[in-house]
Amino acid sequence: MKQHTKRVGIIGLGIMGSIIAKALVQAGHEVVGYDPMPAARARLRRSGGRALASGTEVAQQADALICSLPCTAALHAVVADLQQAGRPKAGQIVIETSTCRWPISSQRQPRYASRGANRGQIRINATGAD
């Protein structure tokens, strides 16, 4: 039996998000996730994770949250959903790994912080393109 550690949430279960999810499950973490594509959610279930109904639900249940999104439109939508979720769980870390251009991603950082997240806990990938 794998030892439970932290519950990690992943929003965006495409190529990169699904690989991250699978590695975390194999490392013994409980993984919950959301993607609008049914095939991506099914892939998460096959790798041992639990698919949830929305990104907001993932954010509310996760100790650490990873966003792995393909474009700025998806990032904007997820940030809006996270704002609606309210304050993050105490100690929740948000890791941003989306492949959006750096200037766009950096514009989202204040919105995460407005949810009550510690600005130092937000990681933004400085590479990638839309």
Q: Hey, what domains does the chain have and what are their CATH numbers? A: 7-124 (3.40.50.720)
* pTM score, whole prediction: 0.75
Residue 68 and residue 91: Cα distance in Å, rounded? 20
pLDDT at 56 over 60: yes
Model confidence pLDDT, tens digit, residues 101-110: 655 445 555 4
Per-residue pLDDT, averaged over 11-32, amounts to: 95
Model confidence pLDDT, tens digit, residues 39-54: 999 999 999 999 999 9
Q: In Å, what is the CA distance from 112 to each residue of 14, 56, 85, 108?
A: 22, 13, 11, 7
